[in-house]
Amino acid sequence: MSAATALALDRTPERVFQRHPIHTPLDLIALRSGVPENLPGRCTDISEGGVGAIVAGELTIGQQVAIELRLPNVGLPIRVRALVRYQSRLHCGFEFLGLSTEQREMIRYWIYRSAVTSGGFRQFKPEEKAETANSKTKVEAAVAVVEPAARPRRRVRIMRRGIYVLLVCILALAGLGWWQWQKSWSEFEKQLTGQAGLHVSPETMAKRILTKVDPQYPEAARRAGTEGVVVLGAVIGPDGGVKRLWPVSGADLLVRAASDAVERWTFEPYMASGRPVEVETTLALEFRLN
């Protein structure tokens, strides 16, 4: 475990769960200017409360992200929202948000498997003993492996039975867990981007334009012979003004000119249930030299 990661989790308000070293890949999704960005990383330690990692990108304390990681010897990946609690260069500490029961059980199972393969168990805190009381099958399976060598066949049977029970539970909850992940991720995107939940087709919004400013053809693009279509994603406010823009496609030399023009467009407010609402759409502008 790196010193930077240890310091990261030391700064959390209170450490309830003991951390366990782990070295496994981690995928992270962060939103930058409303656009999801995938950042690769590697876990350095994990607990039921969070994870320490080295991430190939800059994050900020308090930022919410989505994390996906796959624990060794556990079939299903863990997908969860997390809060950045510490960040120093590439070292980050994350606190899990809304960890489901099955995901917590997967982490506990990996902790026991890790203890078995390392040749022993650590001493658990009282609160951890209470939390793992409902995981009797996995505890018995792990303890069986470190019993005296007098009954090796019995140990193997108990260990296999515990694994089978765990796999059945995981598969039974997989459908529900995936639905919860999809729902949580949709809420996460809406919360962080602030993008409108109502999508309106470009054709519909084109008919509602009240003020349209034509873009100025950039001189650099003209000299380079650059032309084509620029597509912008846009959020239109209840008042008909353009609240936010982001590039979808198009040459870089033309995107800035298109954005400068569209920022001054106004639309007839879009009505839903008798009141003006914020909507999301796409806008296309064509640049031709002749």
The structural domains of the chain, ordered by start, are 3-193 (2.40.10.220), 202-287 (3.30.2420.10)
The continuous run of DSSP H or E covering 139 comes out as: helix 136-145
CA dihedral 195, 201, 202, 206 (to 10 degrees): -110
> What is the structure's pLDDT at 154?
52
User: What is the mean pLDDT, run by run of 10 residues, along the chain of 290 residues?
Assistant: 44 67 89 78 91 88 90 82 87 88 83 69 50 46 41 53 69 58 53 58 92 93 91 94 93 93 95 90 90
* DSSP type of residue 178: H
CB 57 within 8 A of CB 78: no
CB 31 within 8 A of CB 72: no
Instruction: Please name the residues in contact with 3: beta carbons below 8 A apart, sequence gap of 6 or more.
Output: none
Q: Which two tokens stand for residue 279?
A: 């909507």
CA distance linking residue 5 with residue 54, whole number of Å: 8
CA distance linking residue 4 with residue 8, whole number of Å: 6
- Global confidence as pTM: 0.40
How would DSSP label each residue in 236-262? E-TTSBEEEEEEEES-HHHHHHHHHHH
How many Cβ atoms sit within 10 Å of the Cβ of residue 102? Answer: 17
The total number of residues written for the chain in this structure: 290
Of the candidates 230, 229, 233, 235, which has an alpha carbon nearest to the alpha carbon of residue 267? Answer: 235
